[in-house]
Amino acid sequence: MLTGAQVRMARAGLKLRTRDLAASAGVSPNTITRIEADLGANASSLEAVRRALEGAGASFLADDPHSIGVRLARTGAETTGETGMLRPEELNASNDG
């Protein structure tokens, strides 16, 4: 079961505005607000929000009380080194300061 806290965490981690997630999921911004506040939404809206967040790189941890949470996929910049940081395999004598 997708929780409001998971939606908030995923949206924040993916740096999505409420209206952007709503547009991606095909629901209203008010629906996103209701879901995040645990005020309920119909099953099709919850599934649409889940699919939109998963499509943006979120994955939701199992429905276990000890592991409720969100995992975010690395972005292209993080995996290609475009963050301005070197990956360990890129270190050499000239840049290992």
Domain boundaries, the chain: 4-80
| 76-88 residues labelled b (16+ CB within 10 A) or e (exposed) | eeeeeeeeeeeee
Question: Can you read off the two tokens belonging to residue 40?
Answer: 């309920």
Q: Which amino acid appears at position 34 of this protein?
A: R
**The pLDDT value given to residue 79:** 45
**The pLDDT value given to residue 69:** 79
Q: What string of pLDDT tens digits covers the 97 residues of the chain?
A: 788 989 998 999 899 999 999 999 999 999 999 999 999 899 999 999 999 999 999 988 876 666 667 888 765 444 444 445 555 666 666 655 4
Q: Per the CATH hierarchy, to which homologous superfamily does domain 4-80 belong?
A: lambda repressor-like DNA-binding domains (1.10.260.40)
Question: Can you read off the two tokens belonging to residue 60?
Answer: 């939701």
Three-class secondary structure of residue 71 per DSSP: strand
| CA 39/CA 4 separation, integer angstroms | 9
The answer, as to whether pTM is greater than 0.75, is: no
**The pLDDT value given to residue 60:** 86
Closest CA relative to residue 69, chosen from 81, 60, 58:
60
